[in-house]
């Protein structure tokens, strides 16, 4: 006779704390820091889980308020387990299906995954079921505002660090400037390393359709967010007009929205951000959808978190490493997460839970 699993203790208390982490180099005039909301959950048996949610500069106080005013009161007394995600999403859905609501919900979801793993005496990767001990990483930078000599120097650092793929920003008002910069980076990389470009939603359809074939002459592996993330019709039309793979997803917030884009044949690479979609629970649903549809999955940002989850996926996913933006690099963590990126590979992780506690 099999033993019945012990009931999950109830969620007893949740603490949130807003932290402003200055970036070593601003991502732009309006993005000078990261806003992290550290989240600590306590269950009725004395268990504690630690995690966070996050946004670059914009919206941090709104995320914390939604947690404190709406999500935490609805979560207290429920099982202290990630299985409550869908009920809580339905609870806050009136405030929006995604965006601030899912970013706030990620703080609880990640903390509950950390707690579940700690109860099991495991790290989250092993709790999910490890498939990889390491994954390829690519060098990335928020660098459209860099002078070309600084961009070239950054590309040289990536090559010296062993990256076999890099991503740079495009979307200058002058296409000639983008072409000059992409050509300069390709010259540093040589013919064999992958080069991806990211327009960060800067183009309209006609500008994108004109710019991408010109950039493709330098051998680009994907064009990321060429249009506004909301513009499904535009993505569908663009995909029919170009040969370069299209990547997007950092600003899509639910599995339903990812399904819309895939049903429309608009994407070749999906890039869910684990925090923006609401945590590990919905991220895994999106990963299942991408696998079902046969498209590439490349988690967006947050390598100290993304790598831990991607180690448990059947496919090999790229891990994005933005220069000088890791939480450990910025001195934001109580102790290192254990995730390291060296010689173009992400490896390692914590012994227990997520290992992401903020100072």
Catalytic residues: 169, 300
Give Cα 177 to chain centroid, integer Å. 28
Q: Cα–Cα distance between 116 and 353 in angstroms, integer?
A: 8
* Segments of 214-294 assigned E as strands: 223-224, 246-248, 269-270
**Cβ neighbours of residue 13 closer than 8 Å, sequence gap 6 or more:** 41, 42, 76
Of 65, 200, 92, which is closest to residue 141 (Cα–Cα)?
A: 200
Q: Hey, how many other C-beta atoms are within 10 angstroms of the C-beta on 22?
A: 12
314 SS3 class: coil
Phi, psi of 167 (to 5 degrees): -135, 135
Q: Cα–Cα distance between 142 and 26 in angstroms, integer?
A: 9
Burial of 123 (0-12, 13-18, 19+ CB in 10 A): buried
Burial of 4 (0-12, 13-18, 19+ CB in 10 A): exposed
Residues 315/299, Cβ–Cβ less than 8 Å: no
DSSP 84-127: GHHHHHHHHGGG-SSSHHHHHHHHHHHHHHHHHHHHHTSBHHHH
Angle, CA 54 vertex, CA 208 and CA 203 arms, to 5°: 10
Q: Cα–Cα distance between 217 and 237 in angstroms, integer?
A: 21
198 strand-pairing partners: 169, 224
> For the chain, what is the largest distance between any 2 Cα atoms, rounded to a whole number of angstroms?
72
């Amino acid at each position: 006779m099999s033993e019945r699993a012990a009931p999950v203790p109830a969620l007893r208390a949740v603490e949130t704390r807003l932290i402003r982490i200055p970036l070593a180099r601003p991502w732009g005039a309006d993005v000078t820091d990261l806003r992290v909301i550290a989240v600590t959950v306590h269950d009725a048996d004395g268990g504690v889980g630690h995690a966070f949610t996050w946004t670059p500069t914009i919206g941090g106080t709104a995320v914390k308020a939604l947690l404190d005013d709406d999500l935490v009161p609805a979560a207290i007394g429920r099982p202290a387990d990630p299985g409550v995600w869908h009920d809580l999403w339905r609870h806050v859905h009136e405030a929006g299906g995604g965006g601030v609501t899912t970013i706030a919900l990620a703080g609880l979801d990640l903390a509950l995954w950390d707690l579940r793993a700690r109860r099991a005496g495991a790290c989250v990767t092993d709790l999910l079921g490890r498939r990889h001990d390491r994954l390829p990483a690519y060098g990335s930078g928020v660098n459209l505002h860099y002078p070309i000599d600084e961009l070239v120097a950054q590309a040289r650092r990536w090559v010296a660090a062993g990256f076999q793929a890099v991503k740079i920003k495009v979307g200058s008002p002058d296409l000639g400037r983008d072409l000059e910069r992409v050509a300069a980076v390709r010259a540093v990389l040589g013919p064999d390393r992958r080069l991806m470009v990211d327009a960060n939603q800067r183009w309209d359809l006609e500008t994108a359709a004109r710019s991408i074939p010109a950039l493709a002459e330098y051998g680009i592996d994907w064009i990321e967010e060429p249009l506004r993330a909301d513009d499904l019709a535009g993505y569908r039309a663009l995909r029919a007009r170009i040969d370069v793979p299209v990547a997007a997803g950092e600003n899509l917030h639910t599995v339903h929205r990812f399904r819309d884009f895939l049903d429309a044949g608009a994407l070749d690479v999906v890039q869910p951000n684990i925090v923006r979609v609401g945590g590990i629970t919905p991220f895994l649903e999106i990963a299942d959808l991408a696998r079902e549809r046969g498209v590439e999955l490349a988690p967006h940002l947050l390598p100290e978190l993304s790598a831990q989850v991607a180690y448990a996926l059947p496919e090999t996913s790229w891990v994005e490493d933005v220069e000088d933006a890791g939480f450990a690099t910025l001195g934001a963590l109580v102790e290192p997460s254990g995730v390291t990126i060296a010689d173009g590979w992400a490896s390692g992780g914590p012994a227990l839970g997520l290992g992401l506690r903020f100072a």
